[in-house]
């Protein structure tokens, strides 16, 4: 009989939560960016969101197979990257590119939806403003 590893289940659940949070952040930031930058044209907004997804995906691609660990002399700050970078495994070029493409798609789809929703909010706001002035 096969035993179930609680550690694998625990880390698997948090892995999916992390991905869900990443998708929500991608959506929310894109929507917020578009709403705050009301002067952007529709195509400029989409272009900037796609460019941001490319940049973040390149970062994920470059750090694939590594993680940070605290160095003995420093306090560890996982968010801002203090500590040592440890190589977990040596990904091939194809694996690294594949991971970058996956992260691009995972970030891009909710970001485009958020951009679209932000543009809709701007149109509704402008429509209400016109109606209230009339």
Please tell me the predicted confidence (pLDDT) of residue 73.
Answer: 59
Residue 102 lies in a domain: yes
Element housing 9 (H / E): helix 6-36
Where do we find the tokens 């659940």?
Answer: 13
**The domain containing residue 63 runs over which residues?**
22-133
- Of 67 and 112, the structure prediction assigns the larger pLDDT to 112
Nearest-angstrom CA–CA distance, 3 and 5: 6
Give the pLDDT confidence of 87-106 residue by residue, as tens digits: 777 888 899 899 899 999 99
Residue 15 lies in a domain: no
Split into its structural domains, the chain has a count of: 1
**pLDDT over 70, % of the chain:** 84
Give the pLDDT confidence of 12-23 residue by residue, as tens digits: 788 888 889 989
Residue 1 lies in a domain: no
Token pair, residue 38, equals: 């009301």
Please tell me the predicted confidence (pLDDT) of residue 133.
Answer: 78
DSSP secondary structure letter of residue 27: H
């Amino acid at each position: 009989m096969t035993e179930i590893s609680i550690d694998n289940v625990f880390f698997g659940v948090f892995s999916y939560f992390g991905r869900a949070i990443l998708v929500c952040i991608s959506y929310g930031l894109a929507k917020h960016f578009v709403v705050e930058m009301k002067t952007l044209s529709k195509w400029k907004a989409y272009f900037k969101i796609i460019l941001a997804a490319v940049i973040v995906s390149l970062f994920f691609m470059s750090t694939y197979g590594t993680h940070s660990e605290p160095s003995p002399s420093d306090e560890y700050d996982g968010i801002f990257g203090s500590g040592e970078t440890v190589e977990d495994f040596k990904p091939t070029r194809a694996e690294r590119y594949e991971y970058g493409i996956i992260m691009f798609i995972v970030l891009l789809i909710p970001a485009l939806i958020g951009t679209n929703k932000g543009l809709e909010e701007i149109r509704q706001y402008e429509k209400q403003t016109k109606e209230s002035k009339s």
